[in-house]
Each structure stands twice: as structure tokens, then as C-alpha cells.
């Protein structure tokens, strides 16, 4: 098992460790028992993950004499809303949960965000332990303390920063993950490669060629590399005031394309298209060498993610959605671009004609 520490500024008590390995649940239970973060634990998970892994995780904690219960919600993004938070907190009250209770977020990004948010509110804040079960959650959402739920007006509009007590990444969970969900997580790993570790892109392209993308050794390599990058960025910019924005590489066009597809495209597919677009824009604005842009498209294609705008999707609609981006500043939408692979920067706004030309050029 590998361990790395996330150092939060000026507050040793909020710093925490990320543990990564295969079959690490027993060791997780021992660490929880030793650290005494809570007198009892409540696992929050969704019904799909619960049927695959819920009982086993609960039993592992109980074996270490840690009192433990489970709360199960519906799977999917639709459950990431305030009504589910209220249901979870009502169930916590019914279970007699108090400030000595901590939550365990057992699931993908939806469960991680929802559970973290509920933990940040319940009795003015209780502990949460992140146990991510999707690749996206293992490389991205479980680290950094961002929690949120969606509202009718948009995604992640209601949320808080609530750092976890610890993050336990068990690669074994990924064995039951459907291919499409797995690929979605790969898009975020490609993002890390593009913004900070070009060597990762090479490794991914050759693993895709060799058919070893889902092998444990490879997964451990890319998850460890991704966590190291995410933790480094979060340590410098916990509250998303500057540097953390570079994690949005590919996400501005990505979010617009995801919404324009009525969420038929997965988040990872949309981010993949968004990264190709951002690379294309950077190339046209003379920042990014053509071969770097080509590398990004090549690795995206190699892992089975899309590089073009789907047929029938209107560029005008994508542009309109980009203009409404939640990260806009006044009338401008900041864009994360690359000077070269591994060197990202935030551009204050892209001329509409360059955006339109790039999107039109990406038609399939």
C-alpha cells in the first residue's frame, strides 16, 4: 500500500493521508480503529455499489470492533440533490448519529460529493472518510474536499469545502466497474497528463495498445500519479481561487457539450471532446505545437474516447452554453489552455470566431 499526505495550509488537523493499493480494506479498518476519528461509522452508498460491496465493507469495519451502519440512496446524478441530503440526515438522526459519528462515502463522485456535503452540514460538521469506487473518484473527486449537490439551475451549485479525514483507494473496486464508467475516469487521467505529466500520456497510449489499461499494476501507476498531481494543486489552492482552475482543462467545452447532448454523453466523453477543443484553440492561438495537440487526440482515441463533436449537435448551442459557464467572470469565460504539454495557463477569454471555427472543425 502506498501512502501520501495532503498538507492543508496552517492546519495540521485538517491534513490527511491518501492510501492506495489493492485489497486495502482490512488495513483501512485498522487505521480507522487506531486513529479513533469516530466512535461509530455510517457508510453512505448507492444501491448498485451496496449490492456489490456494501456488506463486505461494513463487515470489515465490524471485524475491528468499529460500530457501523449503512444508508443506501439511489444511484446516479439525479440523487445528488438537496432532497437526498435531507433524507440522509433524517436517517442519521433516526440511527442516533451524533458528533462522535463519521460518515464513509463508499462510491463514485456522486456519493463522495453528496456524503461530504451531508457531513459538512450534519450537527455543524462531522468527519467523512472517502472510499472511492470509480476511477474518476479515485483520481479526482475524493481528494480536495469539494462537496456539492446540484440544483434545478445547474450542477454543483450548493456545496462546501469539507476535507476528509482520510482517503482509501482500493483498486479492487474497479473490477466491477462497467467499461464506459471506467473510460470516463481515464479522461481525467489524460487531463493530468496534459497539464502536468506528459509521460503519463505515453504510458496510457502504450497500455491501450497492449490491452493492459485495467491491469492492477498499471492502475496503481496512473492512480498514484494522478493523486500526486491533484494533491499538489489542492495544497496550493484549497478554495479554488487560482491554480486549482487548471484542473478545468477540457471542462469548459466539456460541460457545454455534456449539457447539449442532454447528458447522453458521459462526463468523460464530454471532457475528452473538450480537451481536443482546448488543444485546438491553443494551437490556433499559437501557443501549442501541433504535435502536442496531436498527442492529446491520439491518446484520447487510443483509450476509446471520442475526439469529435457528435453528429447533429449544434455549434451554436455549445457556444451559448459556454457563455453561461458557471466559472465566467463578467462576460468573459476563462479557458484553460496549454503553452505546451505540461504547461497550462488560464486565458481570460477566447474570441467567438476561434471557438466556432474549432467546434466546426471537430464535426464527425
Ligand X SMILES: NC(=O)c1ccc[n+]([C@@H]2O[C@H](COP(=O)([O-])OP(=O)(O)OC[C@H]3O[C@@H](n4cnc5c(N)ncnc54)[C@H](O)[C@@H]3O)[C@@H](O)[C@H]2O)c1
- Looking at residue 223, what DSSP letter applies? H
| Residue tagged 447532448 (cell numbers) | 261
Candidates 29-37, 74-82, 329-337, 353-361; binding stretch for ligand X (CB under 6 A): 74-82
Residue 162 interacts with ligand X (CB under 6 A): yes or no: no
The answer to whether 48 contacts ligand X (rule: CB under 6 A) is: yes
CB of 316 to ligand X, least distance (A): 26
- Stretch of 56-64, 117-125, 141-149, 316-324 lying at the interface with ligand X (CB under 6 A): 141-149
Strands in 172-307 per DSSP E? none
Q: Taking CB under 6 A as the rule, does residue 71 contact ligand X?
A: no
Among 18, 32, 41, 46, binds ligand X (CB under 6 A): 46
Beta carbon of residue 25, minimum distance to ligand X (angstroms, whole number):
13
| CA–CA gap between residue 83 and residue 105 (Å, rounded) | 17
Using CB under 6 A, pick the residue from 49, 171, 260, 318 that binds ligand X: 49
The C-alpha angle 61, 65, 67, rounded to 5 degrees, equals 70
- Residue 6 CB partners (closer than 8 Å, separation 6+): 15, 16, 17, 18, 143, 163, 231, 234, 235
**Cell for 246?**
487548471
**Nearer CB in complex with ligand X: 130/358:** 130
Paired strand residues for 69: 42
Q: Which region, judged by CB under 6 A, interacts with ligand X, from 65-73, 172-180, 202-210, 220-228?
A: 172-180
Q: Give how far the C-alpha of residue 92 lies from the chain's centroid of Cα atoms, to the nearest Å.
A: 26
Report the residue number, 17 or 77, with the smaller CB distance to ligand X: 77
**Contact assessment for residue 104 and residue 129, using Cβ atoms and an 8 Å cutoff:** yes
Contact between 75 and ligand X per CB under 6 A: yes
Nearest distance from C-beta of residue 72 to ligand X, angstroms: 11
State how far the Cα of 114 lies from the Cα of 142, in Å rounded to an integer.
Answer: 11
Window of 57-65, 69-77, 213-221, 337-345 that interacts with ligand X by CB under 6 A: 69-77
Sign of CA dihedral 177, 178, 184, 189: positive
Q: Applying CB under 6 A, which of residues 84, 115, 181, 252 lies at the interface with ligand X? A: 181
Of 265 and 288, CB closest to ligand X: 265
Of 214-273, binders to ligand X (CB under 6 A) are 267
Query: How far is Cα 259 from Cα 326, in angstroms, rounded to an integer?
Result: 13
Query: Contact region for ligand X (CB under 6 A) — 29-37, 43-51, 66-74, 91-99?
Result: 43-51
How many angstroms separate the CA atoms of 98 and 76, rounded? 28
**DSSP code for 350:** -
Which of the stretches 134-142, 232-240, 295-303, 311-319 binds ligand X when contact is defined by CB under 6 A?
Answer: 134-142
In whole angstroms, the minimum distance from the beta carbon of 177 to ligand X comes to: 4
In angstroms, what is the minimal distance from the CB of 360 to ligand X? 29
100 touching ligand X, by CB under 6 A:
no
**Residue 48 β-bridge partners:** none
CA dist 122 and 91 (Å) reads 11
Range 17-36, binding ligand X (CB under 6 A): none
Stretch of 7-15, 175-183, 252-260, 311-319 contacting ligand X, by CB under 6 A: 175-183
C-beta closer to ligand X: residue 176 or 206: 176
134 near ligand X, judged by CB under 6 A: yes
Residue 172 cell numbers, joined:
479492487
In three-state form (DSSP H/G/I as H, E/B as E, the rest C), the secondary structure along 161-200 is: ECCCCEEEEEHHHHHHCCHHHHHHHHHHHHHHHHHCCHHH
> Least separation, in Å, of the C-beta of 141 and ligand X?
3
Q: To which residue does cell 469565460 refer?
A: 333
Q: What angle do CA 97, 151, 334 make, to 5 degrees?
A: 120
Cell 467545452, residue located: 253
* Helix or strand run (H / E) with residue 210: helix 198-210
Residues near ligand X (CB under 6 A)? 46, 48-49, 52, 75-77, 80, 107-111, 113, 133-134, 136-137, 140-141, 144, 146, 155-156, 173, 176-177, 181, 184, 267
Amino acid at each position: 500500500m502506498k501512502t501520501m499526505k495532503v498538507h492543508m495550509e496552517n492546519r495540521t488537523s485538517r491534513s490527511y493521508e491518501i492510501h492506495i493499493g489493492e485489497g486495502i480494506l482490512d488495513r483501512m479498518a485498522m487505521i480507522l480503529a487506531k486513529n479513533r476519528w469516530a466512535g461509530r461509522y455510517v457508510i453512505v452508498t448507492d444501491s448498485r455499489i451496496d449490492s456489490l460491496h456494501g456488506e463486505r465493507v461494513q463487515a470489515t469495519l465490524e471485524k475491528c470492533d468499529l460500530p457501523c451502519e449503512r444508508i443506501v440512496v439511489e444511484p446516479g446524478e439525479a440523487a445528488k440533490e438537496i432532497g437526498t441530503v435531507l433524507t440522509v440526515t433524517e436517517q442519521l438522526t433516526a440511527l442516533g448519529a451524533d458528533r462522535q459519528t463519521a460518515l464513509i462515502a463508499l462510491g463514485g463522485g456522486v456519493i463522495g460529493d453528496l456524503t461530504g456535503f451531508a457531513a459538512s452540514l450534519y450537527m455543524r460538521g462531522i468527519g467523512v472518510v472517502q472510499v472511492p469506487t470509480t476511477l474518476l473518484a479515485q483520481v479526482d473527486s475524493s481528494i480536495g474536499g469539494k462537496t456539492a449537490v446540484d440544483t434545478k439551475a445547474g450542477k454543483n451549485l450548493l456545496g462546501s469545502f469539507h476535507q476528509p479525514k482520510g482517503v482509501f483507494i482500493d483498486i479492487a473496486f474497479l473490477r466491477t466497474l462497467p467499461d464506459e464508467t471506467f473510460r470516463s475516469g481515464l479522461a481525467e487521467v489524460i487531463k493530468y497528463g496534459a497539464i502536468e505529466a506528459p509521460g503519463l500520456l505515453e504510458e496510457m497510449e502504450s497500455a491501450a495498445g497492449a490491452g493492459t489499461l485495467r491491469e492492477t499494476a498499471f492502475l496503481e501507476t496512473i492512480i498514484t500519479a494522478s493523486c500526486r498531481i491533484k494533491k499538489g494543486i489542492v495544497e496550493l489552492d484549497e478554495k479554488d481561487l487560482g491554480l486549482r482552475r487548471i484542473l478545468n482543462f477540457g471542462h469548459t467545452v466539456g460541460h457545454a457539450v455534456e449539457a447539449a447532448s442532454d447528458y447522453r454523453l458521459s462526463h468523460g466523453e464530454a471532457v475528452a471532446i473538450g480537451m481536443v477543443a482546448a488543444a485546438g484553440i491553443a494551437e490556433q492561438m499559437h501557443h501549442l505545437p501541433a504535435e502536442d495537440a496531436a498527442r492529446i487526440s491520439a491518446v484520447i482515441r487510443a483509450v476509446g474516447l471520442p475526439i469529435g463533436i457528435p453528429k447533429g449537435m449544434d455549434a451554436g448551442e455549445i457556444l451559448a452554453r459556454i457563455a453561461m459557464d458557471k466559472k465566467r467572470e463578467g462576460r468573459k469565460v476563462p479557458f484553460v489552455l496549454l503553452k505546451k504539454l505540461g504547461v497550462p495557463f488560464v486565458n481570460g477569454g477566447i474570441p467567438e470566431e476561434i471557438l466556432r471555427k474549432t467546434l466546426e472543425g471537430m464535426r464527425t
